[in-house]
Chain A
């Protein structure tokens, strides 16, 4: 059974800081890994998708890496902004489903 863990559970940083969110998973037999953003009371927005054969993906100020053998992924956010405040979810595609972590609640203070 795939299990996904995200650390830290919550993070508060001043505006402009670079930060790293961590995700680990127990079963390395994955197809892909996705990072999502969820705003309070809203749905999920896909940020980045990394296929199992890839090492990283970049989109703007976001960079996600994947180390399948060690069961880890990181989401790097450069020059954080107050608008980045949200819950960030890591999800691993394996078997027939995406398995989600509990999320990291990020607050960027102006």
Chain B
């Protein structure tokens, strides 16, 4: 079991470009969460998805950010027209039952986005 796989690990974009971050959950997990960690800050919830459904996107910025978790393939966090303030580490986590279950959330190693 390879765990939660995130790629790319490091991504550099110029202002105005698009960033796509991918997350493959652990085998058998159908719940995916995205968190953002700004420099010197804690992890902030962004979005919670199950296969083909967005369950809770209350932590997503209203513009430029979107997420999906298709029936096949990884979950994608997409940031359009990036700005310097988007520079952060983006973490994905997965679980088999959601936070109300007995299983821990397993986190990936993160994708570190730098916007020049």
Contacts and interface: CB of A to CB of B under 8 A. Distances in A.
A71 to B, nearest CB: 17
Contacts of A32: 99-100, 102
| B contact residues, range | 20 to 34
B42 A31 contact: no
A43 B110 contact: yes
Nearest to A36: B107
A77 interface: no
A5 B64 CA distance: 30
B42 A96 contact: no
Contact of B99 (A45, A46, A96, A102): A96
Given A46-B104, A89-B42, A103-B42, A98 B99 contact: yes
Contacts of A101: 42
Interface of A, secondary structure class, is: strand
A93 B107 CA distance: 15
Nearest to A94: B99
Contacts of B44: 100
A99 interface: yes
Contacts of A46: 104-107
Interface string B61-86: 00000000000000000000000000
A27 to B, nearest CB: 13
B98 A43 contact: no
B108 A96 contact: no
Interface in B18-72: 33, 35, 41-45, 48, 55-56, 59
Given A34-B104, A43-B109, A97 B43 contact: no
A97 B42 contact: no
